[in-house]
Amino acid sequence: MPKVSFAFFATGALAVLVGMTMGMWMGATQQFTLSPVHAHINLIGWASMGLMGTFYALAGDRAPHRLAWVNYGLVTVGLVIMAPSLGKMLLGDPSFEKVVIASSMIVFAGALTFFVAIVMTWRNSSRAARPASGVAATMPAE
């Protein structure tokens, strides 16, 4: 399995632990103000990063290696900035709104990078599956 997949999975596992801990704290205290932070950590950190890691594991060498690491970096940095900033904003500090917007754009750039990686992998797979020109003519007929 590619190292980038392990990075996605390890970060996702850490995110789900943080998200679950937040969920348990919110349930125990009946304080649900930070529910959107909990949701973003679980959906971006756990679900999305897990799916991205799975894609890169399945695609293997067909996936663009450097782009996969860019994808990982953008989503991770965006989430690490977004979660606490969103929390501060939800707790009443409007000065964090621009940071939340900027970090959302970073995560979006990561998602866009992932889409580009999928398209590139698909194109690489299509090229590999096509026979070279003239190969069909040299094969014996059945």
Average pLDDT of the chain, as a whole number: 92
The predicted structure's pLDDT at residue 133: 56
Tell me if 56 sits within 8 A of 109, measured CB to CB. Answer: no
Q: Mean per-residue pLDDT for 40-57?
A: 97
pLDDT in tens, 10-24: 999 999 999 999 999
* Cα–Cα distance for residue pair 45/39, rounded to 1 Å: 9
pLDDT in tens, 118-135: 999 999 887 766 655 555
